[in-house]
Structure 1
Amino acid sequence: MPSNAIACSRCRTPLKAYGHPGIVLHRATGTESLCKTCIYDADDSCNYPQRPEARECTMYHNITVPLLSTPTRYEMQPGVWLRRNAGWIALIALIVLSLGLVLAKR
C-alpha cells in the first residue's frame, strides 16, 4: 500500500497518517515548522527524526494547549470505573470474604 493512501486497500478504513488508521497527522499550514509551537520540542522530549524542521508530525501538541484533557463522554458514563477496575474489585472482595471466613471459624 502506498504511504500516501487515504484508505486501506483491504478494509477501506480511512487512514489518517502514514498508513495507520486513527492516527492524526498534523501538518504545518504556514512557513514555520511544527516544532516551533510543539510542547515536546519545548521540553526536549521529542525524538522525531525530522526535528526541528518537521512540517508533518503524528506527535504534535500545541504548547498553548494543556496536556490534561477533559473526560470523554464514554468516561463519564456510570459504571465505567467499575468495568475498568472489575479485576481489582473481585480481588478485594475475595480477600474480604476469606478474612470473613477465617474470623468466623474462631
Structure 2
Amino acid sequence: MLNCPRCGQSIQQSAIACPRCRTPLKAHGHPGIVLHRATGAESLCKSCLYDADDTCNYPQRPDARECTMYHDVTIPIVSTPQRYETSPGVWIRRNAGWIALVMLIILSFGLALSRR
C-alpha cells in the first residue's frame, strides 16, 4: 500500500484521490496516468530528462512541483525491441481480406470464362 503525500493516510495502489484529504494521486482523474510530485524544496524539472534535453513543453517549467511526464535523468529510457514474425501463417492472417478478394476475383473470372 502507498501513503498519501499530503496527509500520510494509507491508500490503495489504484486510488485516484486520497479518501481522507482528497489530494489527487492520478493525473486528470485517470488511473493510468501517474502524477509525479516533488518531495523536497527542489522542483521536478531539476532532475527531469525532458528538461535536460529541452523537449519539455509543460507550462509550469522550470518550477513544476507536479508533472505527468517526469522521467528521472539518472534512469535511462530502455526501449524493448519488437519481434517480427515472418512465418507464412502470420502473413496470411495479416492479409486475409486481400487474399479473399483476390480469390473472389479469380473465381468470378473463372466462372465468366467457363460460360462462354
- Quickly name the TM-score band, shorter chain normalised: 0.5 to 0.7
Q: What pairs up with 1:1-106 in 2 under 5 angstroms?
A: 6=17, 16-69=26-79, 89-91=93-95
Q: 1:70: Cα distance to partner?
A: 5.8
Change (3 A) 1:31 1:68: same
Q: 1:89: Cα distance to partner?
A: 4.5
Q: What letter is aligned with 1:6?
A: A
Partners of 1:64 and 1:42 in 2: how far apart?
Answer: 11
Partners of 2:56 and 2:92 in 1: how far apart?
Answer: 35
Partners of 2:78 and 2:31 in 1: how far apart?
Answer: 24
TM-score, with length taken from structure 1: 0.55
> What residue ranges of structure 1 are gaps of 5+ in the alignment?
8-14, 76-80
Q: CA RMSD in A?
A: 3.9
Partners of 1:88 and 1:62 in 2: how far apart?
Answer: 43
Residue aligned with 2:33, SS = coil
Q: 1:21: Cα distance to partner?
A: 2.2
> What residue ranges of structure 2 are gaps of 5+ in the alignment?
1-15, 19-24, 107-116
- What is the aligned-residue identity percentage? 64
Aligned position for 1:78: none
Q: Which has the higher contact order (CA 8 A, sep 6+)?
A: 1
Residue aligned with 2:95, SS = helix
Q: 1:29: Cα distance to partner?
A: 0.5
Change (3 A) 1:37 1:88: farther
